[in-house]
Amino acid sequence: MNNIRREEQDGVLTLTFDRDAKLNAIDPAMIEVLRRAMLDMAERDERRVLLIAAEGRYFTAGIDIGTLNPDPGRTADGGVSGIKTRTFLRGLHVLLDSIEALEKPVILAAQGPCLGLGLELAVSCDFRFAATRATFSLPEIPKMGVIAGSGGISRLTRLVGPHWARWLAMASRSITAQQALDIGLVHEIFEDAVFAQRVREFARGLTQLSGEALGLAKLAIDAAASADRTTARDVDRIANTLLLLSDKNRGVVKAYSDRTKKGDAPDQDP
């Protein structure tokens, strides 16, 4: 049974977790659907925005522990292999890295509690929205004796700082939607009754923007977050040079100039 519904409409590819009986716990088959969707987004120009949503009581309770290999790093002779363990984790790393690297907007919409791998998934996305009943937590330490090691802690720390990363990843405390908004983990909160509608409106709005500009903006933002100031400024200029020389921008500038010469300068952007 497919635990993720897939829908395409108006340039938005929506993946909806639909496994309420298991609190939308993420199993290997769901990871594969997400992986294939990332390939589709990269290859198809008409797919402008990816929206990851869910139905049911939870956005996700995290990874489905029952589907994991209990000894991912165990060798045939009973020893422990760090290489095997890292190989086991690499699949998740590749998926989350591909989300972060995709030059198209990726939105996560948490309509309910978002735990563990769900939060790691969230901080890989460009935009995060929460319904009022949503909560966020990383329960890996008390439940499994491990950390959110699929890039979750590094991305979380970059996003909300070490102060709140310690609260979530070390103390394993849960935060409300309002706290998530206050610390910068989510961009906006919507009432439960209108949550899906408002998120879809935001996604459709992004499809009306220049895909090239959105992609370059994403690259420039990522560079600014990790590069020194001078390098970040150079990235700004390089990215904007490509956009300023595009047919779209040159057409807009020409239309604006022609209207100004006629004496009817617009009172707003063209």
Q: What is the pLDDT of residues 209-230, one digit of tens each?
A: 999 999 999 999 999 988 888 8
Q: For residue 194, is pLDDT > 70?
A: yes
> In which band, very low, low, confident or very high, does the pLDDT at 25 lie, cut at 50, 70 and 90?
very high
Q: Determine the average pLDDT of the residues in 108-137.
A: 98
In the predicted model, is pLDDT for residue 75 greater than 70?
no
Most confident of 71-85, 110-124, 222-236, 254-268: 110-124
pLDDT of residue 144: 83
What is the set of domains in the chain, with CATH numbers?
4-207 (3.90.226.10), 211-261 (no CATH)
Q: With pLDDT > 90 as the criterion, what percentage of the chain qualifies? A: 65
Is the pLDDT score of 201 beyond 70?
Answer: yes
3-class SS string, 209-243: CCHHHHHHHHHHHHHHHHCCHHHHHHHHHHHHHHH
Please indicate whether residue 255 or residue 6 has the higher confidence score (pLDDT).
6
Q: What is the mean pLDDT of residues 103-126?
A: 97
Write down the pLDDT at residue 186. 98
Q: What is the mean pLDDT of residues 99-103?
A: 96
Q: What's the token pair of residue 222?
A: 């990522």
- Give yes or no for a contact between 1 and 18, defined as CB atoms under 8 angstroms apart: no
The answer, yes or no, to whether residue 6 has pLDDT greater than 90, is yes
Query: 18: closest CA among 51, 58, 47?
Result: 58
Structure confidence at residue 142 (pLDDT): 85
CB within 8 Å of 139: residues ≥ 6 apart: 62, 115, 116, 172
pLDDT at 24 over 90: yes
